[in-house]
Structure 1
Amino acid sequence: MTTSDSLSCGTAGLGTVQALQKRAFDLFFAVLGLLAAWWLILLAWMAASIDTRSNGFFIQKRVGRHGKIFRVVKMKTMRPIASFETTVTRRGDPRITPLGAFFRRTKIDELPQLWNVLLGDMSFVGPRPDVPGFADKLQGEERAMLSIRPGITGPATLKYRNEEALLATQADPETYNHKVIWPDKVQMNLDYIRNWSLRNDIQYIIQTVFH
């Protein structure tokens, strides 16, 4: 999908003033967050590097605003296993290391994404950035989801914060994710865009921190 194609992603979206408010908020708190958490990110990177015997940062291509591909940065929490090729992760996934499970539970693995927010690839709040094959396949009005930057957290992220446990109960996790979870996330994210306010963004961040 080209950038010009993705621009025709529906009429929903933030106004100019709203977009500026959101970006200013992101920039200010991304800088504060990096200044406050750089030492924790460094220690976690060192620990993840030892734990996975590789670079402690997990870098992967994701679909961003207007369908632009960017590289998300997270803390590495898994070791590769040849027999596992799916991008869907469920609780008990053998690829997740014990330290990785701790990082996921405490959300330490998400901290490097502050760099993505600073660069403008992501926002604090918005749809989670997915690998190619999901967001870039949206059709019609649903493509309005591509009109904003993907986020570290958001309403869909909060609702499915136990997604790995939910998928672990399914006979076919990948199909369930495609047929049930993903469509529900799309609708929640479209509602988020239509009803956006800075106050709501702050509430989502508070809920994420205290959950």
Structure 2
Amino acid sequence: MKLLAWDELPDAMKNAAVRPYYDSLRRKRLQLFMKRCFDVVASAFLLILLSPIFLVLAIAIKFDSPGPVFYRQERVTQYGKRFRIFKFRTMCDLADQMGSAVTTGGDSRITRVGAKIRDYRLDEISQLIDVLRGTMTFVGTRPEVPRYTEKYTDEMMATLLLPAGVTSTASIEFKDEAKMLDSSDNVDKAYVELVLPQKMSYNLEDVLRVGTLHDLSLLVKTIAAVANNKE
């Protein structure tokens, strides 16, 4: 996992608020290398292990509603680069053209199979492909759509020093985010003004704490959070 020289960073990221996070990561270059090694080995192993589940989900999605198996929405990752994320489709085709980029609890765009997939967060396991490709990492700030990253403050830009993640402290703390936004008349505004700043405070703390033990701890907490959510 390469950390660019300060002068090579995008102009929007070269500000005083980002510098402390950058300096912290420079002191952890070995841990960043180990983080990438773990990502490659673990994602490759899990893709092979979970291939039967991938097949079952793909068949269920295709039979349930018209459209592709994967939802390839454009997201933002390390250094502000854009990529098309792999997520098992849980909504009707072209759902992003029918409403907000944020999903609420009772969203009518969610399909029957999609609701079950979301309950167990199985739509996220296809992101193992992104982890193997290097566009994502196991633990890091969840990838936002461009229209939300455009709202980032100078300090929030520090989260883009690392690849986007499958899970994070923020994603655990805000696992019921959709329900939180249910009562809002303007979901996008509520997300940007109320939810995003709270999530980013966790994300920025995670950037400073990046390391093998911290990552493993968050992976265990994520598994526990998903399990507890179904009890």
Please tell me the TM-score bracket, short chain as reference.
over 0.9
**Contact 1:47 1:56 survives alignment (8 Å):** no
Unaligned 5+ segments in structure 2 are 1-7, 226-231
Give the aligned partner of residue 109 of structure 1. 123
Supply the AA of the counterpart residue of 1:34: L
**Contact 1:126 1:189 survives alignment (8 Å):** yes
Give the aligned partner of residue 99 of structure 2. 85
Give the aligned partner of residue 32 of structure 2. 19
Supply the AA of the counterpart residue of 1:44: L
Give the aligned partner of residue 185 of structure 1. 199
Give the aligned partner of residue 132 of structure 1. 146
**Contact 1:63 1:131 survives alignment (8 Å):** yes
Give the Cα separation in 2 of the matches to 1:83 and 1:21.
Answer: 40
Give the aligned partner of residue 64 of structure 1. 77
In the alignment, is residue 123 of structure 1 matched against residue 137 of structure 2? yes
Supply the AA of the counterpart residue of 2:71: F
Large movers: runs of 4+ above 6 Å = none
User: Which stretch has the larger CA shift, 144-153 or 163-172?
Assistant: 163-172
Deviations 1:28-69 (A, max 9, x none): 110111011011112101211221211111111100100000
Structure 1 vs Structure 2 CA RMSD: 1.9
Supply the AA of the counterpart residue of 1:162: D
Deviation, 1:82, is 9.2
Identity %: 30
User: Which stretch has the larger CA shift, 80-89 or 122-131?
Assistant: 80-89
Q: TM-score, normalised by structure 1?
A: 0.92
Deviation, 1:174, is 2.3
Give the Cα separation in 1 of the matches to 2:95 and 2:131.
Answer: 31
Give the Cα separation in 1 of the matches to 2:155 and 2:141.
Answer: 15
